[in-house]
Amino acid sequence: MLELIFAVFVGVIWQTIRVCIHACIRKIRAPKPQPLCAECFHAHVQYTANARYAIFCTYGGTVRPMKLDVLYCTDYRTRNMPRPAVAGFVREIAPAE
């Protein structure tokens, strides 16, 4: 009788461990969302053949490597926005009356 209880106990423990391992594997294999920088105007993104990528931020004129996935950025600007056409120091000139 004691052997049967022990076998049931070991079976329950084994099933619990198996379910936990499968849940962890499923979580690891789930696709990660694309970082915010991938669609930013200031980003330079390099994609590799094995689905890895390297992102560099060019905001402010310097190139900085981004070592982590950015979720929020104060300088974010979508790539679809028109680029500013202002060149030099000329301000808008008021029309003559």
The residues spanned by each domain of the chain are: 1-30, 32-79
CB 70 within 8 A of CB 36: yes
Stated as kind and residue range, the H or E segment containing 5 is helix 2-29
- Confirm whether pTM is higher than 0.85: no
Q: What is the pLDDT of residues 37-88, one digit of tens each?
A: 888 888 888 888 887 888 899 888 888 898 887 888 888 888 887 766 656 6
Q: What is the pLDDT of residue 89?
A: 66
pLDDT band at 17 (very low <50, low <70, confident <90, very high): very high
Bridge partner list, 35: none
